[in-house]
Homo-oligomer: A and B are copies of this chain.
Amino acid sequence: MWEEKDNQLHRAFTFKDFREAFAFMTKVALLAEKMDHHPYWTNVYNKVDIYLNTHSAGYTVTDRDKKMAATIDQLL
């Protein structure tokens, strides 16, 4: 689940393998480009961590981040 901490929404995802993890990242990338809202994220093999906040709001968590988090959950 998403957790808010240090002015960021964060969720950790674990997949079966790198292929599944990177396919998920591709879906998130398509969403991010469409919303013009790009996460900070990390990946190694089957693990993806996504951190969301809004640069134009002084790097705080806004409704835009909450909406993106909810949409990302629907991609799973």
Please report A residues at the B interface, Cβ cutoff 8 Å. Answer: 18-20, 22-27, 29-34, 38-45, 75
Number of copies: 4
Contact status B32-A18, CB under 8 Å = yes
Are A44 and B33 also in contact (CB < 8 A) when A19-B27, A19-B75 are?
no
A74 vs chain B, min Cβ distance (A):
10
Q: Chain A interface secondary structure, helix, strand, loop or mixed?
A: helix
Complex Cα–Cα for A42 and B39 (A): 10
A32 proximity list for chain B (CB < 8 A): 18
Closest to A55 in B: B45
Contact status A44-B40, CB under 8 Å = yes
A40 vs chain B, min Cβ distance (A):
4
